[in-house]
Amino acid sequence: MDVNGTTWVVLGLLALRPMSGYEMKQVVDRSTRFFWAASYGQLYPELGRLESLGLVAGESAPTGARPRRVFTLTEKGRDSLHGWLRASGTRMETRDESLLRLFFADALPHDEAVQLLRARADHHRASLMQLETTAAAAEGDPPFVSLTLRYGLDYCRWEIEWCEAQERRLREGT
Amino acid sequence: MDVNGTTWVVLGLLALRPMSGYEMKQVVDRSTRFFWAASYGQLYPELGRLESLGLVAGESAPTGARPRRVFTLTEKGRDSLHGWLRASGTRMETRDESLLRLFFADALPHDEAVQLLRARADHHRASLMQLETTAAAAEGDPPFVSLTLRYGLDYCRWEIEWCEAQERRLREGT
DNA sequence: GACGGCATGTAAGTCGTTACATGATTTG
DNA sequence: CAAATCATGTAACGACTTACATGCCGTC
């Protein structure tokens, strides 16, 4: 059937409620973006593909004269989604420039190297604030949607504490 | 000067010691891979490019009749590396299929959804064991190299605890 | 002498982002 | 009426992986 990551984003979002491609992008940017991003260049072609496979059904729902297509999950689409949710593949990839810097930080004078921990903590402090704003407007989310939001909050807090603890350790340890 | 992520991997590794492209791949696969992977298809072309820019210098160092090139960091290369280490860009991207599943888990019966937390914990338990093996053979690493290893260990432990705690919470909360 | 590891390199293909083109609608 | 937002779509580019091609070396 030929799937990719975007497939599951599309099917998963439509399991929550019918929506347009434009709306999907907005939802992704406020939620899964932190662990799974998606762009228009992926979303729109994938919607067309999944429609031709019969996993989603598109219906015209214009706003006045402005064209607009709203998609629904078909039974077949729901089956695929459930199949993936029950599957066990656990692909996990990260590109973390700040950790890469830390890894090579021995090339820097010790003081400057330790500073990198502070920069990393700051970055996660900013993410935390952003997530807290999101959380404030997230009443009534389904339980597992709010569980991943909680994950984001807990993870940021852990990162901040870890960086602070290591900074202390390195300053004392000298 | 036109840089990419592989640029910093190459320069950073050569700051540790001179090595060949083949060796770089091995080192990456045992260390930065978890937060910054690199393949031959990136490493070899990048080494050629950086050599022509004068940031690294290649020297022939065959093993018998088997050709082999060992690269060294030039002064210019060291300057570039320091520039990047002091820069503040903090690009951070993640593709975490297991979190994506969790986000969409409301489409599943509650029991099965909770199971996803166990699968995620198991995955991190496996990573932890792998890192512990790495750690056992990591005496004498430079301080910030072992700091990132410690990060991996601490992060895995935190993930496992988080999943277990949430699983308990969801089972009790019903 | 077969197999696994050393060693370099590239071609093909996938994945993903960015930026643009187009045009309707709402809001200040 | 200008600017922001709604809405769809694609083209070009860059990042990355996989698999292959090639051949030497050590060891069982």
Closest nt to residue A5, judged CA to C1': C15
pLDDT single digits (tens) B142-155: 999 999 999 999 99
DSSP state of A33: G
Q: Is A103 in the same domain as A168?
A: yes
Chain B partners of A10 at a C-beta cutoff of 8 Å? none
Average pLDDT, chain B: 96
**CA–CA distance, B119 with B11 (Å, rounded to integer):** 37
Residue B70 structure tokens: 């060992």
Last residue of a domain, one of A67, A86, A105: A86
| Angstrom distance, A65 CA to C22 C1' | 14
Phi, psi of B93 (to 5 degrees): -125, 140
Q: Is B63 in the same domain as B112?
A: no
| Angstrom distance, A150 CA to C2 C1' | 56
Last residue of a domain, one of B36, B54, B86: B86
pLDDT score of B20 more than 70:
yes
Give, in order, the Cα–Cα distances in Å from A88 to each of A55, A122, A143, B117. 21, 35, 21, 12
User: In Å, how far is B170's CA from the nearest CA of chain A?
Assistant: 9
Say if residues A50 and A56 touch (Cβ distance below 8 Å).
Answer: yes
Residue B151 resides in a domain: yes
Q: Is A10 in the same domain as A64?
A: yes
Give, in order, the Cα–Cα distances in Å from B41 to each of B31, B50, B60, B91, B140. 18, 15, 21, 22, 30
Pairwise CB contact (< 8 Å): A100 & B36 = yes
Q: Is A50 in the same domain as A74?
A: yes
Q: Is A11 in the same domain as A79?
A: yes
**CA–CA distance, B95 with B106 (Å, rounded to integer):** 20
Residue A95 structure tokens: 């590109």
Last residue of a domain, one of B32, B67, B86: B86
* Residue B154 confidence (pLDDT): 98
Residue B92 resides in a domain: no
Q: Which of A34, A82, A106 sits opposite B144 (nearest CB)?
A: A106
pLDDT score of A13 more than 90:
yes
Residue B44 resides in a domain: yes
* Residue A88 confidence (pLDDT): 87
Residue B115 structure tokens: 């199971």
Q: Is B10 in the same domain as B81?
A: yes
Residue A63 structure tokens: 């706003």
pLDDT single digits (tens) A146-166: 999 999 999 999 999 999 999
Q: Is B76 in the same domain as B101?
A: no
Task: Give residues with Cβ within 8 angstroms of A120, minimum separation 6.
Answer: A98, A99, A102, A159, A163, B90
Residue A92 resides in a domain: no
Say if residues B163 and B118 touch (Cβ distance below 8 Å).
Answer: yes
* Residue A174 confidence (pLDDT): 66
Chain A partners of B163 at a C-beta cutoff of 8 Å? none
DSSP state of A63: B
pLDDT single digits (tens) A97-133: 999 999 999 999 999 999 999 999 999 999 999 999 9
Mutate to test the interface with B, among A97, A153, A169 (most CBs of B within 10 A): A97
pLDDT single digits (tens) B46-69: 999 999 999 999 999 999 889 999
| Residue corresponding to tokens 């015209």 | A60
- How far separated are the first and last CA of chain B, in Å rounded? 58
Task: Give residues with Cβ within 8 angstroms of A95, minimum separation 6.
Answer: B5, B35, B36, B91, B92, B93, B94
Say if residues A115 and B50 touch (Cβ distance below 8 Å).
Answer: no
Q: Is A75 in the same domain as A119?
A: no
Q: Is A48 in the same domain as A119?
A: no
Pairwise CB contact (< 8 Å): B145 & A89 = no
Q: Is A113 in the same domain as A167?
A: yes
Residue B91 resides in a domain: no
Q: Which domain holds residue B9?
A: 5-86
- A7 by DSSP, 3-state: which? helix
pLDDT score of B1 more than 90:
no
Residue nearest to nucleotide D12 (CA to C1'): A41
Q: SS3 for chain B, per residue?
A: CCCCHHHHHHHHHHHHCCECHHHHHHHHHHCHHHCCCCCHHHHHHHHHHHHHCCCEEEEECCECCECCEEEEECHHHHHHHHHHHHCCCCCEEEEEHHHHHHHCHHHCCHHHHHHHHHHHHHHHHHHHHHHHHHHHCCCCCCHHHHHHHHHHHHHHHHHHHHHHHHHHHHHHHC
pLDDT score of B137 more than 90:
no
pLDDT single digits (tens) A37-79: 999 999 999 999 999 999 999 999 999 889 999 999 999 999 9
Residue A39 resides in a domain: yes
User: In Å, how far is B138's CA from the nearest CA of chain A?
Assistant: 14
pLDDT score of B174 more than 70:
no
Q: Is A133 in the same domain as A105?
A: yes
* Residue B79 confidence (pLDDT): 98
Number of domains in chain A: 2
E runs forming strands in chain A: 56-60, 69-73, 92-96
Q: Beta B92-96 vs B69-73: how paired, if at all?
A: unpaired
Whose CB is within 7 A of strand D?
A 20-23, 26, 40-41, 44-45, 47-48, 63, 66-70, 93, 95; B 4-6, 37-42, 63-66
Q: Is B47 in the same domain as B67?
A: yes
Chain A partners of B120 at a C-beta cutoff of 8 Å? 90
**CA–CA distance, A154 with A161 (Å, rounded to integer):** 11
Residue B150 resides in a domain: yes
| CATH number assigned to the domain comprising residue B54 | 1.10.10.10
